[in-house]
Structure 1
Amino acid sequence: MSFRKTSLLLAVLIAVAPAWAQIGQRFPSEKKVVNDPVTGTPLTFLTTQPRGDAKIYPSHPQWTADGQWLVFRSNRVKGEAIAVNEASGEMVQVTEGGYEGMLNLAQSGGNRLYFLRKDPAGGNDKIRQAVEVDLDRVFADSKAGTMKPAGAYQRIFATLPAELEAYGDNALDADGQWFYFRIQGKAYAGARLPAGTKPEPAFGPRKMGAGPHAIGKINVKTGEVQHVVSVPFQIGHIQSNSWNPGELVFSWETGGKSPQRTWTVKGDGSGLRPLYPEAPYEWVTHEAFIGKDEVALAIMGHRPIPGVQDPKRAPGTAVEGANPGQEDGWGNTGTREKPTGLAIINLRTREMTIAGQTPSGSGLWHVHGSPDGRFAVGDDFSRSLYLIDRRTREMVMLTTGHKDTARDHPHPTFSPDGKKFQIQSAMLAADGREMSICIVPVPQSWLDRK
């Protein structure tokens, strides 16, 4: 190839390279339906190519406000978020400049997306930008082929100073007015602890859980930043009640069993208390708002009872390296000597009920429920998905075989209409690891029940 032709080719490549990462970039549909080989359930895979796909964490909304799109993480454009149209399967890049941690979808007032990110221009690594994306404009201009620069769709509504050490563990309030975020800056959080409160040390064999941490909030319209609450331990999994503004749930994060895993607080910092006061022998995890008055969580039964050999539990205990909580150092916790299962907490009465539990194996692990209160769902260590009728306590396996070698767990999340739930699955992965975005329907016979 001549020097002139090589120079022209390089010029063309340089000219088009920025477009590869542009907001609004479209990808063709990969959608296909695969019947589960064991249960026969029709599984709708919205992505099927090995592109590093992963769903939003199950504690947060997955669908846009109009119910037509699901937003997910992907390496189709590394570090950017993608939306897939559930009906057509078409995909659109919906961020530019990256994001960090959680992706937050508004549930009213139009299709909008919120997140934190590092300053794309560089500078202080601890400074964070809070960003709003107008998804309706992105979808419309992308379809019409009239995309504008990213600034036409993305609005930076606050810049958080380095002293906060803000992190992408965050949540959007139900009315879209406040954006809550985690503060890791120990000096900032510690200065706002109640007088006499001592920071907690690390807990458990993973040496996590030490505090203090805090929660802050940003007014989406004005950019005003306020302190919500400081606590003496490490915060994780901040989530908001998508039906009731000003109500949060978060966790004491240790990487496993916590002294007191689940907490709730009001958006103004009042009412801090344990959500489910747990006993020392209980292993509580994976809490998620499932309705205006309810939070689902798992009380795990995944660990063998010391000194007891139970052959019925052997297949579901663990695959080495694939499932958590099997290492020493957690004490006599998470066994079935005491009640375990998919628990649902009523935020108003504070009552807890067990919706169901698998008869053996790890028990239900990541859990969720339909907003209408009819159904609950959970996965287990084998990556099987179980549906529960909350009124009758009937439980059925809907799908299995999603490969415990996968990069992550299925993480089921119900749709707002309660007729289906989304998971991430490695069922189709040639390497047994790559995940796909998948929709699992509630059986019509269950939906028809009166």
Structure 2
Amino acid sequence: MKKSIDQILILIFSLIFFQNIQAQNIDGKDYTHLANVYNTFDIAGDDIFGQRFLSENYTFKDKVTGVTVNALTTSRHGNSKMYQTHPQWTADGKYIVFTSNRTSKKDNYDSQYYAISTNDFTITQITTGKNGRDFHLGWHKNVAYQFKGNNLIEIDIEQLLKDSETGNVKSSEDYETLLATVPKNIKPSGLGLDASEKAAYFSSKINESLYAIYKVDFITGKTVKLKEVPFWVGHLQANPFVEGELMYCWETRGDSPQRMWYLSIDKNGKVTNRPLYEERENDWVTHEVFMGPDKVLFHLMGHLDRLQENQTGIYSLNLRTNELKFHGQTGDGGYWHCNATPDGKWIAGDTFDGKLYRINADNPKDTTLLTTGHRLLSKSPFSSEAHMHQSISPDGKWILFNSSLLTKNDIMIVPVHPK
């Protein structure tokens, strides 16, 4: 009942709010045609599901490279792309989804998810409230998956965006489908979507020294424990191309004894769990992502003297053969994050001081600096400036990244191959 009352109050407020905007007649001059300007990015707005914001898009030439950079957000709020292990574009490629605290009030740091049109750069709020987390876009459908408490739901983003465009947004529940309810004694953390889009994976803390990885089936609704491990499970991500495979890390918020792990489930339900790239004492592995169906891409960090005893830089590892391939290293403490085009031919690598490079996966000498200055004050990973966390679009044409060049954190894109 309380939920229904809250929804009614929000609806009433919204109607009054927009009515006041549209009734802008001052000293005989009508400003109604400028009503949308009320949704400027300098105002901490209200949490209104499906509301639209004017474009904040700003293009500029990089002062060093001359490449055109497109800043998709330019507000004074905290705007950030999602982590690079997960998809950033809707399945049809028409929207980029990001997080922002633009509707958060003073001393309240709630963020919501927003979709920005790749056509006209308008922004639409696609989540609401405080009880949603672990957001994952669909691989093949224009939907999102999210845990609300122990309920795993599917959100029909495509219909929501259509309704928002025509001004006919319904309640958030009208776009949700309940897929499964996880048992109450389990607290889901992280979300990886199986390539089949018929199941998902998550982890849960059992005690201070024990975590478990689970699979939840969308058809049966059942939750099954796959594996217990004696460390904090982080960065869980499913193989986007192969069913029943996922990668996760031994999370420490720093270096770990053996960071990368791989779990697979065969047709008979047998679970195999193994380490990826068995680490040496002076290896610091970080920021692993998939590089096609059979490879993972990762870094051997090189920012400390002791780490430089071994060759550092960007590497790929073949999941089927364990073949290791070196893709280059740079100065300024070395590369930091990485991602690859869907065909695996090009890699995007960044540095601590905010340089972004395009690297030929078959020839590390063929490296091009694309843009600079996105972490102006940083010479190490341990600063408050944005982590670039770059991702490459499904069509292989664009690199999406976080930047502290204009504000504390904005999201920007550059072409993989500038003209």
TM-score > 0.5, shorter chain as reference: yes
Tell me the TM-score normalised to structure 1 length. Answer: 0.77
Distance 1:219 1:93 in 2: 29
Do structure 1's residue 293 and structure 2's residue 330 form an aligned pair? no
**Superposed counterparts of 1:326-405, under 5 Å:** 332=306, 335-358=307-330, 360-393=331-364, 394-403=366-375, 404=378
Structure 1 letter corresponding to 2:54:
P
The one-letter amino acid paired with 2:78 is: G
Q: Provide closer, same or farther for how the CA distance between residues 271 and 382 of structure 1 changes in structure 2, counting only shifts above 3 A.
A: same
- Structure-1 residue corresponding to 2:55: 29
- Amino acid in the other structure paired with 1:133: I
Q: Would you say the 8 A contact 2:345–2:362 is kept in 1? A: yes
Out of 234, 237, 245, the residue aligned to residue 236 of structure 1 is 234
Q: Which residue of 1 aligns with 2:23?
A: none
Q: Which residue of structure 1 aligns with residue 386 of structure 2?
A: 408
In structure 2, do the counterparts of structure 1 residues 105 and 269 end up closer, same or farther at CA, with 3 Å as the change threshold? farther
Q: Which residue pairs with 2:102 in the alignment?
A: 76
Amino acid at match of 1:370: T
Query: Is the contact made by 2:204 and 2:213 (CA closer than 8 Å) also made in structure 1?
Result: yes
Say if 1:166 and 1:185, in contact at 8 Å, map to a contact too.
no
Q: Is the 8 A contact 1:212 1:234 kept in 2?
A: yes
Taking the aligned partners of 1:370 and 1:75, their CA distance within structure 2 comes to: 30
Match of 1:112 in 2: 143
- Per the alignment, residue 217 of structure 1 pairs with 215
**TM-aligned CA deviation for residue 425 of structure 1:** 0.8
Offset at residue 236 of structure 1 (A): 0.4
Please report how far the alpha carbon of residue 96 of structure 1 lies from its aligned counterpart in structure 2 after TM superposition: 2.3
Query: Does structure 2 conserve the Cα–Cα contact (< 8 Å) formed by 1:406 and 1:426?
Result: no
Q: Structure 1 residues 151, 409: closer, same or farther in 2, change over 3 A?
A: same
1:88 to partner: Cα distance: 0.9
Which deviations, in whole Å up to 9, do the C-alpha atoms of 1:65-122 show, x marking residues without a partner?
Answer: 00111111111234321010112101111112345553211121x200012233xxxx
- Contact 1:235-1:250 within 8 A present in 2 as well: yes
Of residues 385, 405, 412, the one that matches 1:438 is 412
Runs of at least 5 residues in structure 1 that lack an aligned partner in the other structure: 1-10, 119-127, 187-209, 306-331, 446-450
Counterparts of 1:253-264 in structure 2 under 5 Å?
253-264=251-262
| Closer, same or farther: CA 178–14 of 1 in aligned 2, 3 Å | closer
SS at match of 2:308: coil
How far off its partner does 1:159 sit? 2.9
Amino acid at match of 1:89: F
TM (norm. structure 2) is: 0.83
Structure-to-structure mapping, 1:132-147, within 5 angstroms:
132-147=154-169
How many residues in Structure 1 have an aligned counterpart in Structure 2? 367
Q: How far, CA to CA, are the matches of 1:364 and 1:269 in structure 2? A: 37
Aligned residues of 2:327 and 2:363 also touching (Cα < 8 A): no
Unaligned runs of 5+ residues in structure 2 are 1-10, 19-44, 104-109
Structure 1 equivalent of residue 135 of structure 2: 103
1:212/1:35 Cα in 2 relative to 1: closer, same or farther (>3 Å)?
A: same
- Look up the match of 2:120: 88
**Partner Cα separation in structure 1 for residue 16 and residue 113 of structure 2:** 20
* Alpha-carbon distance between aligned partners in 1 of 2:334 and 2:205, rounded to the nearest angstrom: 33
In structure 1, give the amino acid aligned to 2:337.
H
Task: Tell whether the 8 Å contact from 1:252 to 1:258 is kept in structure 2 after alignment.
Answer: yes
Letter in 1 for 2:373: G
> Which amino acid is the alignment partner of residue 87 of structure 2?
P
CA change 1:269–1:61 in 2 (3 A) is: farther
C-alpha contact (below 8 Å) 1:79/1:99 kept by paired residues: no
> Secondary structure of 1:71's partner?
strand
